[in-house]
A = this chain, B = another copy of it.
Amino acid sequence: MAVIGIRAGLKRRVLKLSPPALLGLFYLCFVAIGAVLLRLPFSNHGDVYFLDAFFTSMSAVTVTGLTVVDTGGDFTLIGQIVIAALIQLGGLGIITFAVFVLTALGVPVGLGQRLMLREDLNQSNFADLFQLVKMVFIVALGCEAAGTVLLASVFVPELGWSDGLWFSIFHAVSAFNNAGFSLWPDSLTRYATNPIVNLVVPILFIVGGLGFVVLNDLYRKRRWRRMTLHTKIMLTGTGVLILFAWVMFASLEWSNRETLGAFDSWGARIMVSWFQAVTPRTAGFNTVDYGEVTDATALMTMTLMLIGAGSTSTAGGIKVTTFAVLILATIAFFRRRSELNCFGRSLGIDEVMKVLALTVVSIITIFVSLFVISITHDGSFRALAFEVASAFGTVGLSMGATAELDTTGRIVIMAVMFFGRVGPLTLGFFLATHSHVRVRYPPGQVFLG
Contact = CB atoms under 8 A, between A and B. Distances in A.
Given A360-B326, A371-B299, A338 B353 contact: yes
A353 B329 contact: yes
A334 interface: yes
A336 interface: yes
Nearest to A375: B296
Given A349-B338, A435-B338, A333 B359 contact: no
Given A296-B374, A303-B367, A329-B357, A336 B434 contact: yes
Nearest to A383: B381
Interface in A299-354: 299-300, 303, 326-327, 329-330, 332-334, 336, 338, 349-350, 352-354
Contact of A295 (B303, B352, B374, B430): B374
A3 to B, nearest CB: 37
Q: How many subunits of this chain does the assembly comprise? A: 2
A389 to B, nearest CB: 12
A126 B334 CA distance: 29
10 contacts: A294-B375, A296-B374, A298-B381, A299-B371, A330-B360, A333-B353, A349-B352, A356-B359, A359-B360, A380-B381
Interface of A: 252, 294-296, 298-300, 303, 326-327, 329-330, 332-334, 336, 338, 349-350, 352-357, 359-361, 367, 370-372, 374-375, 380-382, 384-385, 427, 430, 433-435, 437
Given A333-B354, A333-B357, 15 more contacts: A299-B374, A303-B367, A326-B356, A326-B360, A327-B360, A329-B357, A330-B356, A332-B353, A333-B356, A336-B435, A338-B349, A349-B352, A355-B356, A359-B360, A380-B381
